[in-house]
Structure 1
Amino acid sequence: MSYADQLFIDMCKDILDHGTSTEGEKVRPHWADGTPAYTIKQFGVVNRYDLSKEFPALTLRKTYVKSAIDELLWIWQRKSNNVKDLKSSIWDEWADENGSIGKAYGYQMRVKHQYPEGMMDQVDRVIYDLKNHPFSRRIMTNIYVHQDLHEMNLYPCAYSMTFNVTQKPGHDKLTLNAILNQRSQDILAANNWNVVQYSVLVYMMAQVCDMEPGELVHVIADAHIYDRHIPIIQEMIQRKTYPAPKFWMNPDVKDFYEFTLDDFKVEDYQAGEQIKDIPIAI
């Protein structure tokens, strides 16, 4: 069993056994048929993944790693807020007639800000600090910009990354760690998707800044399982598990903006049967 599987199983059991229900409350999300989408939720879930030991892709069911990486590149590398720049259609629900999701996600990553060293966007600032001030405690991004919320078609769920560098005894290279802050997460549909994405981001940042990947700490304020997902989750966490797959990233890429989807591979990925047609609350 991979560590990611065990962590996911334990988290789901804890939410189902000890979480609180929103049934009967006034909730924003609803199903396609208009029915309110209630949840069982747990506040303040914190999961830690040691990326130096394994790639945290679930084996209970397969995570589409290439699609997850494409979305990550869409936000962090291409800095786009237009679904026409994305290979999948998962964001189409929130796009306008021109494909835009408003001033959300990639839009915020490309906004330039004034720093003592000059004008930079948030991604370039992270890379600059990791290369020049690696032990700074100020290396972070934030795309939950209140002044722009009214122009976002979807408020950011995973909204902040904080990077922190440590020096492991006996290691020549520094170790890059990160905290992903998420205000809300649909555990069935999005948990491992986000874990895989931001794990890959740590690998990428570590490589271009000549560091080793360390820990990804995932902080979820509202970790929830939707009512129509409960039987799916209950079946899924009883499944057979497999060893974690191997992750490969092209070691020759040293510029963050030169990575392409071809520079990533997941090998020996065994997983349980895919779950199709998962209902998504909107």
Structure 2
Amino acid sequence: MSYADDLFLANCRDILENGVWDTQLEVRPRWADGTPAHTVKKFGIVNRYDLKKEFPALTVRRTAFKSCVDEMLWIWQKKSNRIADLHSHIWDQWAGPDGTIGKAYGYQLGVKHQYREGMFDQVDRMLYDLKHNPASRRIMSNIYVHADLHEMNLYPCAYSLTLNVSGNTLNAILNQRSQDMLTANNWNVCQYAVLVHMFARASGLEAGELVHVIADAHIYDRHVDIVKKLMERQPYPAPRLWINPDVTDFYAFTPEDFKLEDYRFHTLEEKIPVAE
């Protein structure tokens, strides 16, 4: 079985068997019919993925790889908050009258800041340090900007990425305040695994570990039966990640430059409801 499947299923089992329900609390999320969307959760889950060994895509259900890469590039490469710049409709429900999601996600990464070496946005600063100061322990991003939260249509879930170089290996820590395990866990893992590969390729390094820290890892009440079904499945071996060998510029990558080879997965007939 793939290691990503092993971790995901272990997380879900732990949440269902040992987690805490919020059914006695007032919650913000709602289902489409207006019913409160309650969850069972575990606090402080930490998962480690060795990107040298395998690519961490789930096989007990399909992860829409091309769409998740497209969203990651929308945030990290285009630094956009305009939903028209996406090729999917996953952000449509959070778009405002101006066609943006407000000052969230990609917007924050594109804001330029003054450093001793000059003006950089957060992504360019990380690329600069990887090239000029790889021993730095300050190569990180943060898009949870309190001053702008009131202008964000959705507060960032995955909010901080820390990069760290050890020898010729690039490792990363992804910090996430909240994680819908069924709909978004592997989506985010695949996105940031690809992102680490992009930073590594652009810097002449080898992708190493991705450490995923989740403060509130939860399963929604209407997702429990689907998760239990996934837990009964026998996973397939992990797929292999292909990256276009001709691309080394961080800003030249397109979704077509990444492919999963030998990706076998179980189909999921049920439509997964998404809480808003």
- TM-score interval (norm. to shorter): over 0.9
Map residues 48-63 of structure 1 onto 2, 5 A cutoff. 48-63=48-63
Q: Deviations over 1:227-251 (max 9, x none)?
A: 0000000001111210000110012
Map residues 78-97 of structure 1 onto 2, 5 A cutoff. 78-97=78-97
How far 1:261 moved relative to its partner? Answer: 1.4
Map residues 7-26 of structure 1 onto 2, 5 A cutoff. 7-26=7-26
Tell whether the 8 Å contact from 1:184 to 1:221 is kept in structure 2 after alignment: yes
How far 1:97 moved relative to its partner? Answer: 2.4
Query: Are the structure 2 counterparts of residues 97 and 229 from structure 1 closer, same or farther at C-alpha, using a change threshold of 3 Å?
Result: same
In the alignment, residue 47 of structure 2 is paired with which amino acid? Answer: N
Alpha-carbon separation, structure 2, partners of 1:69 and 1:22: 32
1:279 paired to 2:267 = no
Alpha-carbon separation, structure 2, partners of 1:209 and 1:77: 15
1:188 paired to 2:182 = yes
The answer for the alignment partner of 1:270 in structure 2 is: 264
In the alignment, residue 216 of structure 2 is paired with which amino acid? Answer: D
Q: How much identity, in percent, do the aligned residues show? A: 66
Alpha-carbon separation, structure 2, partners of 1:250 and 1:125: 24
How far 1:99 moved relative to its partner? Answer: 1.5
Alpha-carbon separation, structure 1, partners of 2:252 and 2:69: 14
Query: Are the structure 2 counterparts of residues 52 and 129 from structure 1 closer, same or farther at C-alpha, using a change threshold of 3 Å?
Result: same
How far 1:176 moved relative to its partner? Answer: 0.2
How far 1:135 moved relative to its partner? Answer: 1.2
The answer for the alignment partner of 1:3 in structure 2 is: 3
Map residues 140-219 of structure 1 onto 2, 5 A cutoff. 140-167=140-167, 174-219=168-213
Map residues 64-83 of structure 1 onto 2, 5 A cutoff. 64-83=64-83
Map residues 235-254 of structure 1 onto 2, 5 A cutoff. 235-254=229-248
2:154 aligned counterpart, secondary structure: coil
2:198 aligned counterpart, secondary structure: helix
The answer for the alignment partner of 1:170 in structure 2 is: none
Q: Deviations over 1:250-270 (max 9, x none)?
A: 122111001111111111000
How far 1:208 moved relative to its partner? Answer: 0.6
Alpha-carbon separation, structure 2, partners of 1:12 and 1:162: 26
How far 1:154 moved relative to its partner? Answer: 0.2
Alpha-carbon separation, structure 2, partners of 1:34 and 1:206: 44
Gaps of 5+ in 2: none
Tell whether the 8 Å contact from 1:75 to 1:105 is kept in structure 2 after alignment: yes
Q: Deviations over 1:183-211 (max 9, x none)?
A: 00100000000000000000000001000
In the alignment, residue 91 of structure 2 is paired with which amino acid? Answer: W
Query: Are the structure 2 counterparts of residues 19 and 50 from structure 1 closer, same or farther at C-alpha, using a change threshold of 3 Å?
Result: same
Tell whether the 8 Å contact from 1:61 to 1:275 is kept in structure 2 after alignment: no
In the alignment, residue 257 of structure 1 is paired with which amino acid? Answer: Y
How far 1:24 moved relative to its partner? Answer: 2.1
Compute the TM-score of the two structures, normalised by the length of structure 1. Answer: 0.97
Compute the TM-score of the two structures, normalised by the length of structure 2. Answer: 0.99
2:160 aligned counterpart, secondary structure: strand
In the alignment, residue 277 of structure 1 is paired with which amino acid? Answer: K
Gaps of 5+ in 1: 168-173
1:142 aligned counterpart, secondary structure: coil
The answer for the alignment partner of 1:135 in structure 2 is: 135
The answer for the alignment partner of 2:222 in structure 1 is: 228
Q: Deviations over 1:79-133 (max 9, x none)?
A: 0001000000000010012321000001001000000000000000000001111
Q: Deviations over 1:35-93 (max 9, x none)?
A: 11100000000000000000000000110111000000000000000100000000001
* Alignment length (residue pairs): 276
Alpha-carbon separation, structure 1, partners of 2:78 and 2:172: 21
